[in-house]
Amino acid sequence: MLFNSFAFALFLPAVFILYWFVANRNLQVQNSLLLVASYFFYACWDWRFMFLLMFSTLLDYYTGIKMQEAKTPFLKKWWFLLSVIVNLGFLGIFKYYNFFAESFCELLMALGYNTIDVHTATIANIILPVGISFYTFHGLSYVIDIYKSRISAERNFVDYAVFVSFFPLLVAGPIERATHLLPQIKQKRTFNYENSVNGLRQILWGLFKKIVIADNCAEYANLIFSNPAGYSGSELFLGALFFTFQIYGDFSGYSDIAIGTGRLFGISLLRNFAFPYFARDIAEFWRRWHISLTTWFRDYVYIPLGGSRCGKMRQVGNTFIIFLLSGFWHGANWTFIAWGALHATFFLPLMLSNKNRKNMDIVARGKLLPTISEFGRMGITFVLVVFAWIFFRANTLSEALVYLSGIFSQSFFTVPGIMPVSLFVLITLFMTVEWLGRERQFALESLGADWNRAARWCVYFAFILLIAIFRGQSQEFIYFQF
């Protein structure tokens, strides 16, 4: 069930009405309704994988309690390792088995061994369960926090299951923490009109990002990336630019819809994006892009490895580890690993010069325009991000290199034959609203805040009209594959 589908347009109001007008007198009934709705939402993708979600939830719930009750450190560690190994094992089988099998066979072939039969026999026809990376990381953070004695094990199974499978975040995040979400699930919630209206605004902005920006950019990005040899350098650069806006509109749009939907049910989800394309360096970009994943790796990998409290060489190693893991988390392909390595390379000069925490505040706070220096740094950072996205989008490393070589050719200086003027206008409108709203949680939150109700509603209907007019060919959310 897609957020931008007619089915979800029926599903969400139905759950909302039952939640606030039927189950509102009893917290456990509300949570049970959320759990049933979440499993139904997930089953709409493929009901068979619902049992994998249930197993993962039961495993972490049970091992969490056993860790809490363990009489010795050995038993506590045993239950902890059982949960981690089984969770990562499932993730490895479904997401990474073919990658390692193919890489191993290719290595043998490079060494001169005939592995064609082995290759055919080894590669399995495995379907990746939607959202497995997200709900696995939900469970891992929970058991790690129990093992580190940061939280106590949850005894109410329904409450814990809602934490893992709350439908707005189930298939593409944000990646939640038990310390943040579980207390909200266990606390009685009352309807708040302003919070719900704000949630609807965020949903509207997310739909605009996805349907108008991402889906329309996808048509041109897919066209150009499918045949880079057939386009000039200027057109290839446009293709990379279209994908840059596609992935941001797609993923941050999903996050906006998810967070806005959470608000409708009185639940605050973690912020996942903070206007990353206005970043003035790569370090700031990563503080603003996929925030829930970045902070997850920081708290559960980077800091335990020593973080920035160790020597420079160790810091360099730790930095590469988390960037490579971030790339590998996105997919079982060397292109994602190259993407992570490239960002690590961009990040290192800032870290080695102790400038990685230089830009902590919002750019041009309280001002209409940035300074020339800020504009230049934003431009350089944006271009670096655009070129890194080429590796993320390409099917293979060789395709990415061919794509880059096409950009860095004499044809880069030719006039591109692809000039979708209306799309450029929409992107300009999109980034203008983003810029004006960059000091808020999401761009549309502040637009027209001081206007009268009629003027505000005109703005909302204008965006609804744009969604209806420029509804492109529907594309699945990119991060569903991760």
Structure confidence by residue, pLDDT tens digits, 264-296: 999 999 999 999 999 999 999 999 999 999 999
Residue 237: the pLDDT is 97
Interatomic CA distance for residues 254 and 333, integer angstroms = 23
Long-range contacts of 331-337 (CB under 8 A, 24+ apart): 331/95, 331/481, 331/482, 332/95, 332/96, 332/98, 332/99, 332/100, 333/99, 333/395, 333/396, 334/103, 334/396, 334/397, 335/391, 335/392, 335/394, 335/395, 335/396, 335/397, 335/400, 336/391, 336/392
pLDDT tops 80 at residue 20: yes
Distance between CA atoms of residues 307 and 304, nearest Å: 7
Q: Where are the domains of the chain?
A: 6-190, 194-280+359-481
Query: pLDDT over 70 for what percent of the chain?
Result: 94
Q: Is 138 a catalytic residue?
A: no
DSSP letters, 180-200, are: HHHHHHHS-----HHHHHHHH
- pLDDT per position as a tens digit, 227-266: 999 999 999 999 999 999 999 999 999 999 999 999 999 9
pLDDT exceeds 60 at position 119: no
pLDDT tens by residue, 300-320: 999 998 877 888 888 899 999
- Residue 104: pLDDT band (50, 70, 90) is low
Contact call for residues 223 and 393 (beta carbons, < 8 A): no
Closest CA to 235 of 225, 244, 245: 225
For residues 64 and 152, give the distance between their C-alpha atoms in angstroms, rounded to a whole number: 8
The confidence score (pLDDT) of residue 116 equals 52
**245, 214 in Cβ contact below 8 A?**
yes
Residue 195 to residue 126: CA distance in whole angstroms: 42
In contact, 249 and 214? CB cutoff 8 Å = yes
> How many other C-beta atoms lie within 10 A of the C-beta of residue 424?
12
The amino acid at 436? L
Least confident of 27-41, 80-94, 101-115: 101-115
Give the separation between CA 482 and CA 473, rounded to whole angstroms: 22
Crossing angle of helices 157-165 and 27-46, in 10° steps, is 40
Alpha-carbon gap, residue 22 to 166, rounded angstroms: 19
Which stretches within 265-281 are classed as H helix? none
| Pure H helices in 353-420 | 372-393, 397-407
Listed in sequence order, the residues at least 6 apart from 351 whose beta carbon sits closer than 8 Å to its beta carbon are 283, 308, 315, 316, 319
pLDDT of residue 482: 63
DSSP annotation of 274 = S
Catalytic option among 119, 180, 290, 330: 330
pLDDT (0 to 100) of residue 296: 95
Shortest CA distance to 207 belongs to which of 255, 145, 149? 255
Q: Are 273 and 258 in contact (CB under 8 A)?
A: no
DSSP-derived letter for residue 479 is: G
A 10 A CB-CB count for 371 gives 11
Interval 335-369: pLDDT, tens: 999 999 999 999 999 999 999 989 999 999 999 99
